[in-house]
A and B are shown apart, each in its own frame.
Chain A
Amino acid sequence: MRFDLDLPAWKWPFYVMRHPFEGFEDLRWKKAYNMKVAMVIVALFFIVSVCEQLMTGFLFDFMNVKIFNVVPIVIQSIVLFFTWVVGNWALCTLFDGEGTMKNICVNTAYALVPFIIGKVVNIILSNCLLRTESAFITFVSYITILWSVILLISGMRTVHQYSIPKTLLFMIITILAMVVIIILLVLLVSLFQQVYVFVYSIYTELLYRFSNLEPTTLILIFIGAAVVLVAVVVTAYTLFEKYQLKKEMAKLRTK
């Protein structure tokens, strides 16, 4: 461990990358967890994933995407990253893990750096190489993935102060937790979709009923109705509360 480390925040990910085992220890010791840098890395991860789909050379573009769609890439990069963070935090706090959400987030982001660099290198290589030279691309991607996985294991171990087997076990369980989180998310989204469809069908119904009204007026009426509804509920609740209070007071007084 080097105690005389005095690096600016943006240099830390590269330092950690070059020191897979003690880098995270230094980070922990120096309390140099920087959320801004982590978010920049996640954003870069997303941008590089987009670039991978758009800029990979034709010879190595095996995705065969005719129409570009950004939503799957958002899910594959950003959503996946945050589910990992949340899942890992939710699990490991229950099992003596010392990591806070912020520390886990930063460590995971820093561990992604080699993977992102590998992707960039591959995008460049895929525009320069022939099909027969694809071994280079495979080599780069394997090496960087391996590197990232090692960093991730080391980072998780350090942030939770676990032993290596325990880290590995909890990483696997985290993946299961991610699956659960994603299933719940999908459920939530589909539920909200139903709510949306319900509201929208009422709106269209009203549109047909009051066809003399402008749609904008109708929306205003709709919002007004919603506000009135909320107001009624709130006032009813406050009245109910007051009534309860009064009852309590009466009880106290009788005592």
Chain B
Amino acid sequence: MPSIRRIAACAASAFMAAAMLCTGVAYADEPYDGYNYDWYGDPIPSQNGYVVEKVVTGKDIGCGDLNTPSDMFISDSDEIYIADTAYSGTLDSNMKGRIVITDSKFKLINAIEYLDFSEVGEWLKKREDAMNAGTLDQSRYAKETSVYFKGPTGVFVADDDMIYVADNENERVVAFYAEKDGSGIGYGRVVAVYTRPEEDVFDQTQTFNPSKVLIDAAKNVYIVIDSTTKGALVFSREGEFNGYFGANRVEKTGEVVMNAFWKLIFTREQIIRMQRNVPVEISNFDIDSDNFIYTVTETKNSETDILKKLNSAGTNIFVKLGFDTYTFGDFLTKYYRGKTYSSRITDVDIGENGVINLLDLETGRIFQYSNECDLMFIFGGTGTQKGTFTTVNAVESLGNNVFVLDGRKNSVTIFGRTEFGAIVHEAITLFNTGKYADSIGPWNEVLCRDSNYWWAYVGLGNAYLNQNDFETAMDYFYYNSRGGYNEAFKGWRMAFIRENFTLFAIIIVVLLAAIYVISSIRGRQRAKKRAIADMLLREQQKKEE
């Protein structure tokens, strides 16, 4: 008969094995470590807000392999558009690139392989006349009227499902509706073509290779080209060039300051010969539901204007306010295994509730910010595993998912939100919509799961500050937010003085009285001393006489 002890041992071991098996199944590690930044700007480990759900390749979509896709867009009707840049089709040896259209589950709807210009005959005629008159280059005419794409690098879909494609090497932006011909091959029914502006404002020696395109509510077309630092080119709906939008500022480096100094001394000729300080060109943009345009700048060496939120006048709303500055991407430049890493933000996406996703080309990371620029999550990385990337090109979000397009792996990685991520999102959304009291619960839950999560403290502080609970707010803001602490301390100090006014008044009156009494006593003592000294002196003088 087995002893009770043996039975217990067996049961315990079985239970432990089961537990181990269970954790083995449930344990899914990500190839990247979640981290976040604290108030000091130091990176600290944190929980992952997003984990990989699925990786989708061209074969999964059902359209053959993708080849160096460089842009992705999710329309209002939840259709996904991918600019498959280097795709070489079977229709013609000249074609390079297509637009793949899928639904939100990545099921193929259409793949635009060629264009149909029959609806813009008038425009075609004009172009032909211009070519015949000699004002338009023959090769440019051929490019602009080509029925095939050549390296499309940007895609945007307006709310009426009109597709805008930045056809990079063909020097044009085409606007078309997706159609299907008899044999089932997708084609674009072209509605408008935007070509190189002929106005003098645009320097004619510059190349015109549209890399990204965007449409605002008034159907103005914004085009990013790599060759200008003046900002995005703005075209009206009819195709007239209206000027530039959203140029960056020149960063105040030591060199710039020195140049400004030399300019004071140099002669005109010398100044002309000097190297000019130009800002870095913007590299990508997105538009939110309130018609604000967000631009990003892909650069290693600059800190200014990495992310800008522009109103319709082109003014940046994300500016430095008071003591707090906005920093985007990784705070520090890291040197690791013979390579320096420093953030190069290549794409921006505005998701639900104004959540900002920034994509870092250098480290393959996605930085997710709330609409108030509070860093929420960092996920992704470089590598060959699921959830890491080699050359990230585009980020988009739909609902709780974040999609990242990798141009080297030719795949789309779908990230899903974790429970932790959902709680943080809930808290930030509640807070930013003004429901401060409701956000206390989720924020506390966040702190239970990750006590290092900086913004939870700031959020709680703000929530308590809003309820005029200054002391608690001060506790939460202490070494977490200087601005918040300032406000909380202001309130606390006011309340403190108001409550103890009589005490303060009494102390001040007593102090003043004490000072008066002591000084008068000391004055009298001094006078007495001096009188005695005088007397002694006089007596001495008398004696001498």
**Interface locus among A44-52, A58-66, A107-115:** A58-66
A131 is an interface residue with CB less than 8 A from chain B: yes
Q: Is the CB of A128 within 8 A of B493?
A: yes
A178-207 interface (Cβ within 8 A of B) = none
Chain B minimum-CB-distance residue to A132:
B486
Q: Is the CB of A131 within 8 A of B482?
A: yes
B489 is an interface residue with CB less than 8 A from chain A: yes
Shortest distance between the CB of B347 and any CB in chain A (Å): 32
Chain B minimum-CB-distance residue to A131:
B486
Determine the chain B residues whose CB is within 8 A of the CB of A4 once the complex forms: 533
Residue of B40, B323, B485, B533 touching A66 (CB-CB under 8 A): B40
Q: Is the CB of B42 within 8 A of A58?
A: no
A231 is an interface residue with CB less than 8 A from chain B: no
Shortest distance between the CB of A95 and any CB in chain B (Å): 39
Q: Which applies to chain A's interface (DSSP): helix, strand, loop or mixed?
A: loop
B479 is an interface residue with CB less than 8 A from chain A: yes
Residue of A128, A130, A131 touching B323 (CB-CB under 8 A): A131
Knowing A66-B40, A131-B323 touch, does A59 contact B486 (C-beta < 8 A)?
A: yes
Task: Give CA–CA (A58, B323) in the complex, Å.
Answer: 13
Q: Is the CB of A66 within 8 A of B493?
A: no
Task: Give CA–CA (A4, B526) in the complex, Å.
Answer: 13
Determine the chain B residues whose CB is within 8 A of the CB of A131 once the complex forms: 322-323, 482, 486
B202 is an interface residue with CB less than 8 A from chain A: no
Determine the chain A residues whose CB is within 8 A of the CB of B478 once the complex forms: 58
Task: Give CA–CA (A193, B482) in the complex, Å.
Answer: 42
Determine the chain A residues whose CB is within 8 A of the CB of B489 once the complex forms: 59, 130
Determine the chain A residues whose CB is within 8 A of the CB of B524 once the complex forms: none
Residue of B40, B479, B486, B533 touching A130 (CB-CB under 8 A): B486
Task: Give CA–CA (A131, B40) in the complex, Å.
Answer: 19
B488-540 interface (Cβ within 8 A of A) = 489-490, 493, 533
B44-70 interface (Cβ within 8 A of A) = none
Task: Give CA–CA (A241, B161) in the complex, Å.
Answer: 106
Determine the chain A residues whose CB is within 8 A of the CB of B486 once the complex forms: 59, 130-131
Determine the chain B residues whose CB is within 8 A of the CB of A59 once the complex forms: 482, 485-486, 489
Q: Is the CB of B485 within 8 A of A58?
A: yes
Given pairs A58-B485, A64-B40, A131-B322, 16 additional interface contacts (CB within 8 A): A4-B533, A58-B478, A58-B479, A58-B482, A59-B482, A59-B485, A59-B486, A59-B489, A66-B40, A128-B493, A130-B486, A130-B490, A130-B493, A131-B323, A131-B482, A131-B486
- Nearest 5 interchain pairs by C-beta: A131-B486, A66-B40, A130-B490, A58-B485, A59-B486
